[in-house]
A and B are shown apart, each in its own frame.
Chain A
Amino acid sequence: MVFGRHIQRVPFKIYMICLFIFLLFVPPLVGNYWTQVLGDIGIYIMLGIGLNVVVGFAGLLDLGYVAFFAIGAYSYALCASPQFDIHIPFWVMLPVCVLLSAIGGALLGLPVLRMRGDYLAIVTLGFGEIIRIVLNNLDPITNGPRGLLRIDPPTIGSFVINTPFRWYYLILAGIVISAFIAERLNNSRIGRAWIAMREDQDAAALMGIDILKYKLLAFTIGASFAGIGGAIFAARQGSIFPENFSLMVSINVLCLIIIGGMGSISGVIIGAIVLIGLPEVLREVQQYRMLAFGALLVIMMIFRPMGFIPSRRRKLELTE
């Protein structure tokens, strides 16, 4: 947790580097279709890492996370599609999308973060739905349910990122950066303040932690990760519709955090692979797919209630 753990850290680092090198060589091995699936999983991992900051670290149950994903996606799509015939490059828009999502997070956070637990969950749930409904009805700007089409793909010089292989590497880079930032935050003064707040909000305030500020910070940072995810999603799909941003996305992201192990980043990755990848694997059993998937989830929650890779702290909470 603190910097004193270098001795344990080193092998973990090497392990991560090996994993990373392995991941670089995956796409040619698995082919186009599975690379595409891995891309989907990757976007969910990014969302998971972001929501994990809010739910896992700071302990704020946010059920409207999809709203920030939508803000990121629509911000990019509106500024890089024939809708208004504006074509701002992806790399310029990416920070803008992050910023807009972060602002969205702060704007929602300011009024609602005084609430605790269930109340916060309900309000954020409502917010997620409001954003989707607005996108659906703000016809002159968002083109309503017909969505935004022919969104520009990102380019690096004359190199266009438009195949699953190319997307895979862009998303992988995004994940590595997000995971790095989240992990650093978790092991800092800020991370400690979040965990203290999750443990006992009143005691944390009396230790000098500005509760509102740290909640807002968690919310804003979580939202910015969703903003990156949203921009990448929009550019990758090429077209987006309000229905892409339904409540199910929020629920899925929350589920993958819980399945993977709350508060742990490797848990988020495993969770996304299981939750998003498994339904693809289970295509073999066709109509029983969702049934098998449901059963797997139930079994898993019985045998590993703290998730596949719980964070060290959560593990201690549950076993002692």
Chain B
Amino acid sequence: MTVVLETKGLVKRFGGLIALNGVNFSIEEGMIAGLIGPNGAGKTTFFNCITGVYGGVDGGDIIFLGRSIKDLKSHEITHLGISRTFQNIRLFNNMNSIENVLVGQHCLLKAGLWGAITRNEKTLKEEKEAMLKAKELLEFVGLKGKEEILAKNLPYGDQRRLEIARALAASPRLLLLDEPTAGMNPQESRELTEFIKRVRDEFNLSIILIEHDMRVVMEISDRITVLDYGTKIAEGAPQEVQKDKRVIEAYLGRMASAI
């Protein structure tokens, strides 16, 4: 199995606060890796570092498909094949579903100024294919028939799905999902869990998942990494992590682990 993404001693500081403190992490092809930890553990910071949101890290390295990406800009990282969703949904609210997915395909399309103005054969063909792909993706995530609805007018669950469709539109090798089931009821969470597995299988990609819903994480993750105060405190298969003393401590406090 090839390693898709690897971080070595990743450090990120915000002033005096050490948000990530030497995190080593790796994910292999086709894997779903769960990333858990109490609030403020640095999970989203970890995603932001990978996707170049901060424009650099304070130490360590991030290797994606054999290439260091720690100094690349967000859009360059997306071009290489990492897509993500956001903890608090960040769709392009005043664009409809299909346009959102089309923007997601941005880095796969080529049309420049000349193509846009002359609308030549090549551009028309490209746009047509992009539309087709966007429609297929919407159908895949279960938004068929909602192509023309503005993103902000979609129900919450659909917005989550649209965000995933938009991320998939870039044909990523690695998908980062930041709390995809946040705000969903157990029924919806279960559906989404199944859906994430399907995404992995059909698109042949690796997924890193930040999730608070333990049932979801334990069920779909091949491996789980636990962060606490920016430090990796445990790693392993779901069953191992569940029993780990330091994990229980981090979540429930020292007393609980003693019981």
Contacts and interface: CB of A to CB of B under 8 A. Distances in A.
Contacts of A202: 53, 74, 90
A2 B91 CA distance: 18
B111 A189 contact: yes
Interface in B15-59: 51, 53
B107 A208 contact: yes
Given A196-B92, A199-B93, A316-B94, A206 B78 contact: yes
A1 interface: yes
A131 interface: no
B92 A199 contact: yes
B189 interface: no
Nearest to A181: B117
B115 A207 contact: no
A285 to B, nearest CB: 40
B124 A3 contact: yes
Size class of B's contact patch?
35 or more
A185 B99 CA distance: 15
Nearest to B79: A208
Contact of A189 (B75, B96, B109): B109
A209 B106 contact: yes
Given A2-B127, A3-B128, A192-B103, A203 B78 contact: no
Q: Secondary structure of the B side of the interface? A: helix
Interface centre among B51, B74, B93, B153 (most CB of A within 10 A): B74
A118 interface: no
B119 interface: yes
Contacts of A190: 111-113, 116
Given A2-B98, A200-B90, A203-B86, A189 B117 contact: no
A217 interface: yes
A208 B94 contact: no
A203 B104 CA distance: 10
Interface in A200-235: 200, 202-211, 217
B173 interface: no
A188 B116 contact: yes
A208 B170 contact: yes
B131 interface: yes
Contacts of B103: 192-193, 196, 204, 207, 209
A205 B83 CA distance: 11
A319 B30 CA distance: 45
Contacts of A316: 94, 150
B95 A195 contact: yes
Contacts of A185: 113, 116-117
A184 interface: yes
A205 B74 CA distance: 6
Contact of B99 (A2, A181, A206, A320): A2
A189 B122 CA distance: 13
Contact of A192 (B74, B106, B113, B117): B106
Contact of B95 (A4, A188, A196, A217): A196
Contact of A208 (B78, B111, B123): B78
B75 A188 contact: no
A217 B94 contact: no
Interface in A163-209: 181, 184-185, 188-193, 195-196, 199-200, 202-209
B116 A184 contact: yes
B119 A208 contact: no
A65 B138 CA distance: 40
B153 A320 contact: yes
Contacts of A205: 73-75
Contacts of B93: 199-200
A185 B114 CA distance: 9
A317 interface: yes
Contacts of B74: 202, 205-206
A4 B75 CA distance: 28
A313 interface: yes
Given A206-B78, A208-B107, A208-B170, A2 B102 contact: yes
24 contacts: A1-B99, A3-B128, A184-B116, A184-B119, A189-B102, A190-B113, A192-B103, A192-B106, A193-B103, A196-B92, A200-B90, A200-B91, A203-B90, A204-B92, A204-B103, A206-B53, A206-B74, A206-B78, A207-B106, A207-B107, A208-B107, A217-B113, A313-B95, A320-B152
Given A184-B116, A189-B111, A190-B111, 19 more contacts: A2-B131, A188-B115, A189-B102, A192-B95, A192-B102, A195-B99, A196-B92, A199-B92, A199-B93, A200-B90, A203-B90, A204-B92, A206-B53, A207-B75, A208-B106, A208-B107, A209-B103, A210-B73, A320-B150
8 nearest A-B pairs in the assembled complex, by CB-CB distance = A208-B107, A188-B116, A208-B78, A199-B92, A205-B74, A203-B90, A196-B103, A189-B111
